[in-house]
Structure 1
Amino acid sequence: MDNKVMLITGATSGIGKATAIKAAQQGIQLILTGRRVSLLNELVSEIGKENAIAIAADATQLAELSVVIAQGVQHWGKLDIAFANAGTGISTPGTEMGDPEEWQQMLAININALLWTAKLSLPHLRQQQGHFLLTSSVAGRTITKGSVYGASKWFAYGFAMNLAEEMEEWGGRCTTICPGMVNTPFFEQAIDQMLAPEDVADAALYAIHASPRNTVREVFLTPTR
Structure 2
Amino acid sequence: MARTLLITGASSGIGAATAREAVAQGWNVALVARSADKLETLAEELGDRALAIEGDVTDLAAVEDAVARTTAQFGGLDAAFANAGRGLKTAGTEKADPDDLRGLIELNILGLLHTARAALPELRKTKGHLVLTGSAAGRRHIAGSVYGATKWFVHGYGGNMSEEMREWGGRCTVIAPGMVDTPFFDEAKPDKLKPEDIAEAVLFALTRPAHADVREVFVMPTG
**What RMSD, in angstroms, separates the aligned Cα atoms of the two structures?**
0.9
- Whether 2:219 is the aligned partner of 1:189: answer no
Alignment match, 1:78: 76
Q: Where does the alignment leave 5 or more consecutive residues of structure 1 unmatched?
A: none
Alignment match, 1:66: 64
Using the TM superposition, name which of 142-151 and 88-97 deviates more.
Answer: 88-97
The 4+ residue runs of structure 1 with deviation greater than 6 A are none
1:60 partner letter: T
Alignment match, 2:3: 4
Alignment match, 1:38: 37
* In 1: Cα distance, 2:195 partner to 2:50 partner: 20
Using the TM superposition, name which of 3-12 and 184-193 deviates more.
Answer: 184-193
Report the CA distance between 1:205 and its aligned residue.
Answer: 0.4
* In 1: Cα distance, 2:191 partner to 2:108 partner: 24
Aligned residue among 177, 180, 198 for 1:179: 177
Aligned residue among 105, 114, 127 for 2:103: 105
Identity of aligned residues (%): 49
Q: Deviations over 1:111-160 (max 9, x none)?
A: 00100000110010011000000101000001001111000000011000
* In 2: Cα distance, 1:183 partner to 1:154 partner: 21
Report the CA distance between 1:105 and its aligned residue.
Answer: 0.6
Alignment match, 1:165: 163
Does the CA-based 8 Å contact 2:80-2:131 persist in structure 1? yes
Report the CA distance between 1:184 and its aligned residue.
Answer: 1.0
Does the CA-based 8 Å contact 2:39-2:52 persist in structure 1? yes
* In 2: Cα distance, 1:60 partner to 1:39 partner: 19
Does the CA-based 8 Å contact 2:165-2:172 persist in structure 1? yes
Report the CA distance between 1:99 and its aligned residue.
Answer: 1.7
**Partner SS, residue 82 of structure 1:** strand
Alignment match, 1:17: 16
1:88 partner letter: R
Alignment match, 2:122: 124
1:176 partner letter: V
Q: Deviations over 1:52-93 (max 9, x none)?
A: 111100111001111111111111110000000000011211
| TM-score, length of structure 2 as denominator length | 0.98
Alignment match, 2:212: 214
| TM-score, length of structure 1 as denominator length | 0.97
Report the CA distance between 1:191 and its aligned residue.
Answer: 2.9
Report the CA distance between 1:192 and its aligned residue.
Answer: 5.2
Q: Where does the alignment leave 5 or more consecutive residues of structure 2 unmatched?
A: none
**Partner SS, residue 169 of structure 1:** helix
1:203 partner letter: A
**1:178–1:71 Cα change, 3 Å:** same
- Whether 2:196 is the aligned partner of 1:198: answer yes
1:5 partner letter: T
**1:12–1:192 Cα change, 3 Å:** closer
